[in-house]
């Protein structure tokens, strides 16, 4: 008689143990789910200082003494909401910037309605963003501001900086796609043959729910199964549930995207890759990346499945600026802003980079970082120890 190779008794006893744990969790879960939960998002105090159509400009109340005389304007994407940057106290990009003494503004794109379907990229860049910048410049009696873009908002910032370089002191792009001709990201593959005209003509604006479904389909195993298995395993943990619900609130708060903007973004960027080739036209003007002569810091995530590193990296080699840097973090598209690990290094590093370039820009040793090399090499003198960054690829 040979011994059985499978330790069935052990497996079964472990299974019984798990079942017992699940039962305990299920008993405790109602206490958490039915009790008071703090799930508010975007709670950092701010004033709406400028409004135009559906667009609002938020100005955050400083948490400490302002250390940078030039304000920083954050431009979020038109997909999902800017509330992701202020998900919860203690885990908020907005709060971290305020703690660093940055005078912070952020554009809230609002919820486009059917009447916004004709708004183009030109209306967003040369209209809303430019008007917000002008407002800030006038208010602070400045000639230039610092600009930071997130995802599609980053692409808008790149376009804006190329068209209005005289108004931008420093440019920070985060998970920003500029090179669209790649097979690394699923969005790039899917968008290539999409009949965008038919979709825009039918729907007017692109429904947020359809976009959300598309994002879920990027990784259904994790986003539609594993995520909720994780929730079931932790539903007796109040903190976990609160954070989970905050994230759910943000993810499924999806405004529609103005139709004409979507059409142009898909056609000019995803399908024809015009931006990186300096062939894209906005409001009758060609976007020449060589006109981006201000310092540029380009952040992206190594495991970003929406905007892969290949879509972000080439930017620094195409702009006119000599002071450029690529920083690749070991995380995904959203992890850069919300993961505890990235929270510790992301904002402090940007703040430091901005301060160095604003305080004593004449003393900068400007070096252009090669996009294929490690980015641990700094382009400016460091007052703090170098933060750990990863190789581009």
Partner 1 sequence: MTDKSQEKTEPETFFADWMKMATELWDPMAWMWSAFHKTTGMTPDSIKYGKRPRMQESWDTAQKTWQAFSQVMSEPETMETLLKGAGMLPEIFLKTAQTGSKTFVNFQKQWLKRTGKLQESAKTYNLEKDAFKAWTQLYEQEFRKFFKIPQLGLTRFYQEKMIRSMDKFNIYQAAVTEFSRLLLLPMEKSFQVLQEKLTELADKEDLPEDSKKYYQIWIKILEGHYMILFQSSEYTQALNKTLNAMSEFSAVKKEILQDFLNMLPVPTHKEMDDLYKEIYLLKKRIKELEKKK
What string of DSSP letters covers 198-223? HHHHHHSSBPHHHHHHHHHTTSHIII
Q: Which two tokens mark 358?
A: 């604003």
Please tell me whether residue 24 binds partner 1 under the rule CB under 8 A: no
Shortest Å, Cβ 366 to partner 1: 34
151 is catalytic: yes
Q: Which stretch binds partner 1 (CB under 8 A): 32-40, 192-200, 268-276, 367-375?
A: 192-200
Q: Which two tokens mark 146?
A: 């610092």
- Among 1, 2, 10, 365, the residue binding partner 1 under the rule CB under 8 A is 10
| Pick 82 or 123: Cβ nearer partner 1 | 123
Shortest Å, Cβ 336 to partner 1: 21
Q: Which stretch binds partner 1 (CB under 8 A): 59-67, 90-98, 214-222, 262-270?
A: 214-222
| Pick 5 or 36: Cβ nearer partner 1 | 5
Please tell me whether residue 360 binds partner 1 under the rule CB under 8 A: no
The residue count for binding partner 1 (CB under 8 A) is: 38
Q: Which two tokens mark 199?
A: 């979709």
Please tell me whether residue 213 binds partner 1 under the rule CB under 8 A: no
Closest CA to 366 of 332, 321, 326: 321
Please tell me whether residue 221 binds partner 1 under the rule CB under 8 A: yes
Instruction: Determine the 3-state secondary structure of 48 from DSSP.
Output: strand
Shortest Å, Cβ 124 to partner 1: 12
What string of DSSP letters covers 238-307? HHHHHHHHHHHHHHT--PPBPHHHHHHIIIIIIIT--TTTT--EETTEE--GGG--S-EEEEEETT-SSS
> From the CB of residue 181, how many other CB atoms can be counted at a distance below 10 Å?
16
Shortest Å, Cβ 5 to partner 1: 4
DSSP 115: G
Helix or strand (DSSP H, E) at 18: helix 8-34
The CA distance from 379 to 122, in Å, is: 33
Helix axes 8-34, 238-251, angle to 10 degrees: 70
| Pick 172 or 196: Cβ nearer partner 1 | 196
For residues 145 to 184, the per-residue mask of contacts with partner 1, x marking binding by CB under 8 A and - elsewhere, is: --------------------------------------x-
In this structure, which long-range contacts are made by residues 6-15, counting pairs with CB atoms below 8 Å and at least 24 apart in sequence? Answer: none
Please tell me whether residue 14 binds partner 1 under the rule CB under 8 A: yes
| Pick 23 or 222: Cβ nearer partner 1 | 222
Please tell me whether residue 198 binds partner 1 under the rule CB under 8 A: yes
Q: Which stretch binds partner 1 (CB under 8 A): 141-149, 215-223, 347-355, 380-388?
A: 215-223
Please tell me whether residue 226 binds partner 1 under the rule CB under 8 A: yes
The CA distance from 132 to 74, in Å, is: 11
Please tell me whether residue 382 binds partner 1 under the rule CB under 8 A: no
Please tell me whether residue 229 binds partner 1 under the rule CB under 8 A: yes
Shortest Å, Cβ 363 to partner 1: 37
The tally of CA atoms less than 13 A away on the side-chain side of residue 151 is 19
- Among 61, 115, 139, 393, the residue binding partner 1 under the rule CB under 8 A is 115
Please tell me whether residue 285 binds partner 1 under the rule CB under 8 A: no
| Pick 11 or 33: Cβ nearer partner 1 | 11
Strand partners, 329: 301
Sequence-ordered strand ranges (E) for the chain: 46-52, 55-60, 72-75, 104-108, 145-150, 168-174, 281-282, 285-286, 296-301, 324-329
Shortest Å, Cβ 163 to partner 1: 14
The residue ranges that bind partner 1 (CB under 8 A) are: 5-7, 10-11, 14-15, 18, 114-115, 117-119, 123, 127, 183, 186, 189-190, 192-195, 198-199, 201-204, 217-222, 225-226, 229
């Amino acid at each position: 008689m040979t011994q059985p190779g499978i330790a069935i008794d052990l497996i079964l006893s472990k299974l019984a143990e798990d079942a017992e744990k699940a039962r305990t969790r299920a008993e405790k879960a109602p206490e958490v789910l039915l009790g008071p939960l703090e799930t508010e998002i975007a709670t950092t105090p701010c004033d709406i200082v400028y409004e135009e159509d559906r667009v609002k400009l938020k100005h955050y109340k400083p948490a400490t003494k302002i250390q940078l005389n030039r304000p920083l304007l954050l431009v979020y994407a038109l997909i999902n909401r800017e509330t992701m940057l202020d998900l919860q106290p203690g885990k908020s990009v907005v709060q971290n910037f305020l703690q660093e003494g940055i005078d912070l503004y952020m554009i809230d794109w609002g919820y486009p309605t059917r009447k916004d379907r004709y708004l183009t990229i030109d209306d967003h860049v040369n209209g809303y963003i430019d008007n917000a910048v002008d407002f800030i410049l006038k208010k602070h009696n400045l000639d230039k501001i610092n600009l930071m873009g997130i995802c599609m908002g980053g692409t808008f910032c790149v376009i804006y900086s190329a068209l209005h370089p005289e108004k931008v002191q420093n440019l920070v792009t985060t998970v920003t796609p500029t090179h669209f001709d790649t097979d690394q990201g699923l969005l790039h593959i899917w968008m290539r043959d999409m009949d965008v005209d038919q979709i825009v003509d039918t729907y007017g604006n692109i429904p947020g729910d359809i976009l959300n479904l598309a994002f879920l389909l990027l990784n259904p195993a994790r986003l539609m199964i594993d995520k909720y298995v994780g929730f079931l395993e932790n539903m007796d943990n109040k903190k976990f549930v609160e954070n989970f619900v905050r994230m759910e609130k943000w993810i499924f708060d999806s405004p529609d995207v103005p139709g004409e903007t979507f059409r142009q973004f898909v056609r000019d960027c995803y399908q024809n890759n015009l931006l990186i080739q300096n062939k894209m036209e906005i409001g009758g003007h060609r976007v020449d990346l060589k006109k981006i002569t201000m310092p540029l810091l380009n952040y992206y995530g190594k495991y970003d499945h929406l905007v892969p590193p290949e879509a972000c990296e080439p930017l620094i080699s195409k702009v006119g600026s000599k002071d450029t840097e690529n920083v690749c973090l070991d995380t995904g598209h959203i992890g850069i802003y919300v993961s505890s690990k990235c929270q510790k290094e992301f904002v402090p590093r940007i703040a430091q980079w901005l301060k160095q370039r604003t305080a004593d820009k004449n003393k900068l040793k400007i070096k252009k970082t090669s996009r294929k090399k490690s980015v641990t090499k700094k382009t400016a003198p460091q007052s703090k120890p170098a933060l750990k960054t990863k190789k581009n690829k």
